[in-house]
Amino acid sequence: MLDKNGIAKRIAKEVQNGYYVNLGIGIPTLVANFVRDDIEVEFQSENGVLGMGPFPFEGQEDADIINAGKQTITTMPGASFFDSATSFSMIRGKHVHLTILGAMEVSENGDIANWKIPGKMVKGMGGAMDLVASAENIIVAMMHTNKAGESKLLKRCSLPLTGVGCVKKIVTNLAVIEVTDKGFKLLERAPGISVEEIVNATEGNLIVEGAIPEMDILFCK
């Protein structure tokens, strides 16, 4: 089973040379720590930062340099800062190759809910609605089940939606899953996790074809 860093390491393998990538709040922000050194990637944040680097070490934080989630960040050489209007024109103009988001729920047809639990919590929509409507490739980083052990990969989302039919791939603490026209498709399983455990933790339709390989994150940065 993966922890949050393990999920981020696996997603970092999806990032390709030359990509412009938007990182959502939570687990997605960790992805910048694990991207290979031999590729060039530009990480973007909705509050107007292009060229984010890894998280700062304790004691080296600069309170004036933050991401959209108000977390302190570092910047790479050549990074730029601009207003949110310019930032969202970059998003809406489809100049972001990959968006990595957290989620509370994902449905088998690719719907995502990640901003509100009625009566309990309102995280706020932020830029997520623009991102899911504009990005060509959306990967979700999330835990497979909630604290009560209930699946978060569902037939239909029960929470208010952020986007419809937009998620392409999901990386959880248990598995890597692709969203297809026929439902979820199991691609990889986390170290030490069986296919049966993943099936039992998934409410939505899960396609399992052949032998499912174990994730390889040993050689991630």
Write out the catalytic residue numbers. 46
Q: Which helix (H) or strand (E) holds 221?
A: none
CB-count burial class (<10 Å; 0-12, 13-18, 19+) for 192: exposed
Q: What is the Cα–Cα distance from 47 to 125, expressed in whole angstroms?
A: 14
Rg (CA), the chain: 17
Q: What is the Cα–Cα distance from 186 to 196, expressed in whole angstroms?
A: 11
Candidates 1, 5, 4, 49; CA nearest to 23 is 49
**Structure token digits, residue 2:** 């993966």
Residue 141 and residue 171 in contact, taking contact as beta carbons nearer than 8 Å:
yes
Q: What is the Cα–Cα distance from 115 to 125, expressed in whole angstroms?
A: 5
**Structure token digits, residue 181:** 């026209």
